């Protein structure tokens, strides 16, 4: 899940707690070109206010216009954009693709509030769940997620959809540097929640990026506090072993899906020996740490190094092996 989806559910909760009805939209499937994958979310208020996205903008504009006109009063509605138009209304997508969308009308009753609160906890990393929605009456419930699979599946026999919900992608940056700044910006645009940690006041003073959370603590302390879940990547980008090494020692004790530290091959070999000796890390622990970090793109500048780092994180996130690139 993207951090944007967490923002969607937080806004849905805020409106519902204020006694407002909300419309929660989920991308069910895409065919052809589409900027948002199945499972992506948007929440809307009747007056047109909204958070999240379903496409590049054309779908949202049509949906919000119809919502303001009083449509979507049923508990659940499914829409198809493209494929000759929207439900036969003649609106084709400029990209030539097809987009199926689920629209749920959620009144501010207690059952819906509880449902949104469970969604919120899931996106914060408490546990992975399957969200099951009956397309005939809008009834919904959660079941434990037993494993990997498609983000959205359709049970045609029972006319229901199952939407896989898991932690929103998070990037923890251990230590601030020019590479850290570039990496944070790339990660934010890729949909990650970005948290940068550095205890040095003078370094933090020059690090101001919109949408990036900055913690004034040692990264190792923040990581050890329980900040990592299965959708977390941890990267150390300072060349300072006092920050980088401690962060790696704590990171391998977490379920983070990606752990990496910057440095040349020679520096990485020296660090591995040091972590085994002073950090008492096992061979399996060392194998979890990507040293050197990132794809071998021949990067030189901070932005190029950050690109190599984030490209490798996305590769692992998508389950691609290096030789498949």
Helices 178-189 and 302-317 sit at what angle, rounded to 10 degrees? 40
The rounded average pLDDT for each run of 10 residues, N- to C-terminus, in the chain (325 residues) is: 86 97 94 78 96 83 93 94 57 69 96 96 87 94 82 90 92 96 95 94 88 94 94 93 94 96 94 94 96 94 96 92 82
Q: Which of 33, 59, 37, 63 is nearest to 49 (CA)?
A: 63
For 170-324, CATH gives 3.40.50.720
Q: Give the per-residue pLDDT at 107.
A: 97
Residue 207 confidence (pLDDT):
86
pLDDT at 90: 45
pLDDT of residue 95: 59
| Domain boundaries, given as residue ranges, for the chain | 3-165, 170-324
- The residue count of the chain comes to 325
- Rounded to whole angstroms, how far apart are CA atoms 305 and 308? 5
- Quote the pTM value: 0.81
Task: Output the pLDDT for position 271.
Answer: 95
Helices (H) then strands (E): counts for the chain: 10, 15
- What are 68's two structure tokens? 């303001």
Instruction: Give me the pLDDT at residue 93, please.
Output: 63
Structure tokens of 182? 């570039």
Q: Where are the beta strands (DSSP E) in 116-231?
A: 129-134, 140-144, 152-155, 160-165, 170-174, 193-197, 213-215
């Amino acid at each position: 899940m993207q951090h944007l989806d967490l923002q969607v559910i937080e806004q849905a909760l805020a409106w519902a707690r204020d006694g407002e009805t909300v419309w929660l939209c989920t991308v069910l499937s895409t065919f052809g070109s589409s900027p948002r994958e199945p499972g992506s979310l948007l929440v809307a208020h009747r007056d047109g206010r909204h958070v999240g996205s379903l496409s590049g903008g054309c779908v949202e504009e049509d949906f919000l216009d119809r919502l303001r006109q009083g449509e979507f009063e049923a508990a659940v509605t499914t829409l198809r954009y493209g494929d000759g138009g929207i439900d036969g209304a003649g609106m084709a997508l400029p990209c030539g693709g097809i987009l199926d969308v689920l629209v749920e009308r959620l009144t501010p009753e207690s059952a819906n509030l509880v449902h949104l609160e469970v969604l919120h906890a899931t996106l914060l990393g408490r546990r992975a769940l399957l969200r099951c929605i009956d397309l005939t009456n809008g009834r919904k419930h959660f079941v434990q997620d037993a494993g990997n699979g498609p983000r959205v599946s359709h049970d045609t026999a029972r006319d229901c959809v199952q939407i896989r919900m898991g932690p929103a992608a998070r990037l923890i940056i251990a230590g601030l540097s020019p590479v850290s700044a570039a990496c944070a910006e790339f990660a934010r645009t890729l949909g990650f929640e970005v948290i940068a940690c550095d205890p040095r006041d003078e370094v933090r003073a020059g690090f101001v990026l919109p949408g990036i959370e900055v913690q004034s603590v040692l990264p190792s302390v923040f990581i050890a506090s329980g900040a990592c879940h299965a959708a977390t990547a941890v990267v150390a980008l300072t060349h300072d072993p006092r920050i980088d090494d401690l962060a790696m020692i704590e990171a391998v004790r977490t379920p983070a899906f990606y752990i990496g530290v910057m440095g040349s091959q020679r520096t990485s070999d020296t660090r591995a020996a040091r972590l085994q000796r002073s950090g008492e890390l096992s061979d399996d622990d060392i194998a979890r740490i990507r040293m050197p970090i990132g794809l071998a793109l021949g990067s030189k500048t901070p932005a190029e190094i950050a690109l190599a780092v984030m490209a490798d994180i996305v590769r692992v996130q998508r389950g691609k092996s290096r030789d498949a690139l």
